[in-house]
Structure 1
Amino acid sequence: MKERTRKLLTRFSSVNSFLTYEDLSKEFSISERTVRNELVLINNYLTEKNYPTIMTARGKGLKLTLSDKEREKLLLRIGDDRETDYYRPDERFLALLLDIVNPSNTTILYEMEKKLLVSKSTLDEDMRKLRFYLKDHDISVVSLPKQGVVLQGDERSIRSMLYGVITSMTDIDNLMSFQNTEAAIPILDQLVLSYLDLEVLQIISKNYDEILEKSMVEINYVYRNQVILFLGIWIRRLQEGNILYESVKSHNWIKDCPTETFVDGICKEFDLELPLNECEYITQTIESFNPKDMNNSVDWITAQLLAIQLIEHVEKLTGIPFSQREEDLYEGLYKHITGLLSRAKNNIQASNPLKETIKDSYAEIYQAVTCFKRQIEDYTKKPLSEDEIGFLTVYFSTSASWMKQEQRYVFQAIVLCNHGISTGKLLAANLKEHFNIDIVAVLSSHELAFIDKLDVDLVFTTIPIDYQKKPLLVLNPILRESDKKEIKEFLLKNKNKRRIISNKFDATSLMQDVLALIIESGGRITKESYQRVEETFKEHHLKINTREIQPMLQDILKQSNILLNQECGDWKEAITKVAEILVSDAVIEESYITAMIKSVEEFGPYIVVGKHLALAHARPEDGVNKLGISVLTLKNPVYFGNPDNDPVRIVFCLAAVDSYSHLNVMKNLIDLINDEEKVNRLIAVQDIDMFNNVLYGSEKNKLEEERFS
């Protein structure tokens, strides 16, 4: 079977939906006539192998209807039906790489020519491509006496490179599903399994499922097989004597967790005795594939900043009101980004087999997320892959899908009719019944002046009028079928005028209104009264998004927690001074200050989140008693070591008790991070009242400040 024919048949065998000649022509860059010719060959092949043939359904397209078992067998057979035994370029690349990386082989290039059945010039070109690829991973290919061709580079880089190559060239899920046989296994998968050993992967799989399920941990099946594959590479490299030798501080190791238990079990299973840094390395790598909450990651504040900014960014670019489902969307993004940041530190790229489908199906959202990649790369210092962009897109597309179920689109319109008020109302009723149109008013031709005063999108009229400010359609007073078709085309042409109307009852908004009424009536909201209102809503089965009624920055930043124009010798003193206010208020313990300083010493100046601005923080378990925040401005700037945002002139200290109660505070701080002018004004302020005016104020406050300066 020719390569093009094989690819077309694989396409039909991989989907259970209709494909058109036009789609296939574009996808494979061939003419529709060529597609038809190929289908004749494919159907002959299917008939010969006793499979159903590809059938045509009028108005729908082409489809190959198979049972799951037939589909699985056919896909395996397709991979095996090749015209020759020659390796294709991608197969030669993988075969060459795995031969070189395998220490049990002595790779001699002229011997590889025979093994791969290629000429010297072809192998030279293959080696050139391999060297070019490895260069991006800081790995070189060298020839050594008696050892042949070998790889030289950092062990972490070699492991990550192997993982990246295998995930990009094979279907991991299929790889894990093969039994202990090489029959009907595609060449690429055979090469991988000959290097990693299927039995080893199956042992890892068994331990992974058993230990994590017994530990009541939610297994992330999106990443499960990727973790198992990486572990297979890790074990193979360890067994060959390739161990990380750099010194790693032991307190980073995630101890007493299911992952540690799992790693211990794997070590016993394969009789591995590991140094502490290897245990820490593999534990953190596995954890990076699992969405995590703040208690498991030093990057929790960074992840929150990025999640909030990403939601605002995508909402702005797409016009989709994602803030309406912010609770679920934020939680998914935050946990995913935490894992993403961790993977970047370990130089691991998650594989997303559906990225092309996601890119095509949700093009607008995918493009919007892509436009945000630089902000993420500023933190990771690594390119953001299309795989990760695809994962992030899914969170948004899921929210958008839910919103569509909770919302409807409507046009707001008026009706102009000179045939009497009853006829006009009948036309209005018909428009509302058959289409998503809300009629705001029924007017006569003498009332044209009112159109500009009404909040409407469209004008429907039974009389021709000269009006060009809004889209207009002339109709018969009594709608005919031809009118309905014309209306459909008119609405489609003006679909950008639609409005989103929510079908969802907003209990959160109702509760906020109730609380506002209590205040307006002279009452006072206390913790107890708030809890009673909340319980009343719950008793009536009304779900409240508590994050929407969380405290703002001005609610928790007390006057006494603002220090201006302070002198500090270095960044450690600045953190200590801004945090000591919270210690005196029993918001945090002294241990929290130690944890913040230690974290910067170990992980670098990641707390410098904006130009001249640092957000000092540690994890809740490091000594937080309650939610709190403090701030100081510096007379002389200090340097944290951040090349983009140093020197620092303002330091906030955040004490958070959980992942969510401070989110509105984070939104306030993001606004500040994005407003360098406001930061500069805060630095210059000498008075606490003026500091608050600038921090929370409007343009009016700004003018007052300038008047008194």
Structure 2
Amino acid sequence: MLTEVEKEIINFLLNTNSFITAKEIANQLLLSTKTVYRAIKHLNAILSSGDLIISKKGRGFKINYDNYLKEMLKQRSIGSYSTDNRRQSVLTRLLISAPRTLRISTLFNQYYLSKTIVNEDLKLIRDFLKSYSLKLERKDYRVKISGTEADIRHALQDLLIKQNFPDFSLATSRGLDFFLINFCLKQLDFINAELKSEITYPYNVNIMSHLYILLTRYPKLALNPPILTKLTDYDQMIIKQNQQLYSIASQVIKHVEEFLNTKLEPNEIYFLLQYLLSSRLNIMDKIEDEGFQNHLVQGVTNFYIENVVLELQIGEINQDFKNDLQNHIRPMINRLYNQINLNNVLLPEIKREYFQLFQTVVRISSKVAVKFELPPISADESGFITLYFARYLEQNRHYIRVLVVCTTGVATSQLIKTKIQAYFNNIVVVGDAPSSNVQQQIVENAPIDLIISTIPLNKTFEIPVVVVGALLNQQDKKRIEDTITHNYLNQGSEKMLSEVTNESLIRLNIEAANWRDAIIKSAEPLIQAGYATEDYVKGMVKTTEESGPYIVISKGVALPHARPELGAKKVGITVATLKKPINFGNRSNDPVKFVFALCAIDNKSHLKAMSELVNFISDQKFLAQLIQAANPSEVYTLIKEFESRYNENE
């Protein structure tokens, strides 16, 4: 069984077309080089299709794609019965029967196993149950699972989903009941008919597995009905806000009662309602501003968008995308609160195809959970969010057409082409040329946006030229990135922080009555210096009122801003410190001591300055010196010093 580190290394190498060093792998995955070497050695030792990862001295590692495909085919050809399937089947039977005891022989006799293997299986099952606060109790020749009904169902739900429930081809080997699955399918059809729309994957699987668990648990507990959590005032409010869905849930539970000839606990209706609310339904997409947890939904959505934009510098994202993501975030929050997990079958492909974006979203998800006091957000959930951003980027991507030039135009250019395609997902190499034939290739492959050359070119071209080494090292990649950013992303207007602020935009020890007053007073220099109108500053306050305190981007730091069309005249950032810290309503990062008011005229020209600002405010030394500064001149000097320091380190 592969470790998470080994899976990440495989996914990373699958996304790279050329050799890459252990140090580069380690830097990308935040590992030590020793860990990378050890993992690669283990991978090559345990897989039977031959070396999965090949190495070349001085060049690094590359995946052997032929052996990778052989290994994948081998895994797929294995029958439905496996060690994992056996353990899952035993675990499913124990969970369905809990807290009743079962004979060990009843669970394992059909597999013809030694006592050692049986004990090993039970040990692994016991370890699995610990994460759900459940215990596997063994006495003599019998075993049982003990714990709360909620935890038992949670474990069963996850187990069924991981088994590709309701895959009929696997049902027999895993002890599932065809008859019950069919009944669940009919209930799903009923829900779809009532909603006049279809509940799609993976939400349909969650609802079906929940119903299947009801159908299996109640007959086993006929003499001891499950003790369910009492509904709170908040639960009653959710029912009142969602009468249509509650009515549908009531009818489905009535069908289950008729099928089982058993009266279910009334709370079962509410639990099914939660599964409906945790699904992406058309009815949920139409909820108005006062709807279900809207303030929290908007805050989480805005936080994801703001941070992805900052980290990847992808520019401002349109309202249609924001609405679409928000309609995914709403049921996701409900899933988190109710411990409803979604199985993302595309997760391995997402990690492979969108490696950097996925890693970024995972980091932001961790911050979201802390900032908004939510339960941990799983990799599966982060994978779904990654797909939203990936789709947006694909739809709005500008591909840069590149011509590669070297001395001969043969071997070296092919190597450069391979590396460029591996490192830059916004570049398309449309041709290669020897240095003697550049002009002709420009004409034949027009239009050309950028020339990447391994030698200086004597002739001056209207097209930007970046000269790199033949091996395309980290410095070369940085030169290409800078050229693209300067010429295509920021359209020549890439400005540093020191260029978009000045002493007239710096205010120290402002006295503010509340967060609105803090925004207005910190942004006032933008109006006085002609960067923005009064309407723009009013827009900053209104945006915060409507979307919540997501502008508090880190501990003690707020970044108010508004849409350019409200009155932005030129790019500027004010720097303000508050004499007395103010609460903005952000539990995780209040109180605010520093306010940086941003005036942006478009979605690009301020990105370099913003990138620097994010680096500065994450540096405690910078913030400490900012507090100690006696006047605007000292602050501006401090910005220039830190700017120089960061540029030297790049």
Q: TM-score range by the shorter chain?
A: 0.5 to 0.7
Q: Secondary structure at the match of 2:175?
A: helix
**2:444 matched residue in structure 1:** 434
Q: Secondary structure at the match of 1:142?
A: strand
Deviation readout 1:164-222 (Å, 9 max, x if unpaired):
11212x223xx25x4xxxxx64544x42337x92133122221222112x2xx574434
CA RMSD of aligned residues (A): 6.3
Q: Distance in 1 between matches of 2:323 and 2:152?
A: 34
What is the deviation of 1:135? 0.8
1:369-380 alignment runs, 5 A limit: 369-379=361-371
Structure 1: give runs of 5+ residues left out of the alignment.
1-24, 35-58, 65-74, 179-183, 317-321, 415-425, 442-446, 459-469, 474-488, 510-562, 567-573, 579-586, 588-594, 616-631, 652-663, 704-709
Match of 1:29 among 47, 52, 61: 47
- CA change 1:313–1:29 in 2 (3 A) is farther
> Is it true that 1:198 corresponds to 2:181 in the alignment?
yes
**1:622 matched residue in structure 2:** none
AA at the equivalent of 1:167: I
**1:390 matched residue in structure 2:** 383
1:620-635 alignment runs, 5 A limit: none
Q: Distance in 2 between matches of 1:614 and 1:439?
A: 38
Instruction: Check conservation: 1:248, 1:277, Cα contact below 8 A.
Output: no
**2:159 matched residue in structure 1:** 165
Q: Distance in 1 between matches of 2:404 and 2:208?
A: 55
1:530-679 alignment runs, 5 A limit: 564=511, 566=513, 610-612=554-556, 645=589, 675=617
Q: Secondary structure at the match of 1:141?
A: strand
**2:297 matched residue in structure 1:** 300
Q: Distance in 1 between matches of 2:230 and 2:79?
A: 43
Instruction: Check conservation: 1:634, 1:683, Cα contact below 8 A.
Output: no
**2:228 matched residue in structure 1:** 244
Aligned length: 463
What is the deviation of 1:90? 3.2
**1:542 matched residue in structure 2:** none
Match of 2:103 among 108, 111, 127: 108
Fraction of identical pairs, as percent: 18
AA at the equivalent of 2:393: A
Deviation readout 1:418-447 (Å, 9 max, x if unpaired):
xxxxxxxx9665222323564999xxxxx9
Q: Distance in 1 between matches of 2:615 and 2:230?
A: 37
**1:365 matched residue in structure 2:** 357
1:490-509 alignment runs, 5 A limit: 497=480
**1:467 matched residue in structure 2:** none
Q: Secondary structure at the match of 2:132?
A: coil
Q: Distance in 1 between matches of 2:348 and 2:252?
A: 34
Using structure 2 for the length normalisation, give the TM-score.
0.54
Instruction: Check conservation: 1:97, 1:130, Cα contact below 8 A.
Output: no
What is the deviation of 1:91? 1.7
What is the deviation of 1:127? 1.6
**1:457 matched residue in structure 2:** 465
> Is it true that 1:209 corresponds to 2:217 in the alignment?
no
> Is it true that 1:127 corresponds to 2:127 in the alignment?
no
**1:311 matched residue in structure 2:** 308
AA at the equivalent of 1:166: L
Q: Distance in 1 between matches of 2:48 and 2:239?
A: 54
- CA change 1:223–1:325 in 2 (3 A) is same
> Is it true that 1:141 corresponds to 2:124 in the alignment?
no
AA at the equivalent of 2:340: I
1:16-165 alignment runs, 5 A limit: 29-31=47-49, 79=79, 88-102=83-97, 106-142=101-137, 149-165=143-159
Deviation readout 1:145-180 (Å, 9 max, x if unpaired):
9x9643333333222211111212x223xx25x4xx
What is the deviation of 1:263? 0.7
- CA change 1:636–1:607 in 2 (3 A) is closer
- CA change 1:400–1:123 in 2 (3 A) is same
**1:54 matched residue in structure 2:** none
What is the deviation of 1:110? 4.5
AA at the equivalent of 2:338: N
Structure 2: give runs of 5+ residues left out of the alignment.
1-42, 53-64, 407-435, 452-456, 492-509, 519-537, 539-544, 560-576, 596-605, 641-650
**1:518 matched residue in structure 2:** none
Instruction: Check conservation: 2:192, 2:198, Cα contact below 8 A.
Output: no
**1:539 matched residue in structure 2:** none
> Is it true that 1:355 corresponds to 2:347 in the alignment?
yes
- CA change 1:139–1:32 in 2 (3 A) is closer
- CA change 1:639–1:336 in 2 (3 A) is closer
Instruction: Check conservation: 2:44, 2:51, Cα contact below 8 A.
Output: no
Q: Secondary structure at the match of 1:368?
A: helix
Instruction: Check conservation: 1:244, 1:277, Cα contact below 8 A.
Output: yes
**2:425 matched residue in structure 1:** none
What is the deviation of 1:640? 8.8
- CA change 1:97–1:218 in 2 (3 A) is closer
Instruction: Check conservation: 1:76, 1:185, Cα contact below 8 A.
Output: no
AA at the equivalent of 1:288: S
- CA change 1:429–1:324 in 2 (3 A) is farther
Q: Secondary structure at the match of 2:280?
A: coil
Instruction: Check conservation: 1:343, 1:349, Cα contact below 8 A.
Output: yes
What is the deviation of 1:351? 0.5
Instruction: Indicate the structure whose relative CO is greater, using CA pairs within 8 Å and at least 6 residues apart.
Output: 2
Q: Secondary structure at the match of 1:244?
A: coil
Deviation readout 1:488-530 (Å, 9 max, x if unpaired):
x99xx989848779xx9x9xx9xxxxxxxxxxxxxxxxxxxxx
Q: Secondary structure at the match of 1:299?
A: helix
- CA change 1:381–1:673 in 2 (3 A) is farther
Deviation readout 1:341-392 (Å, 9 max, x if unpaired):
3222111221011211222233333333344343234256544433223222
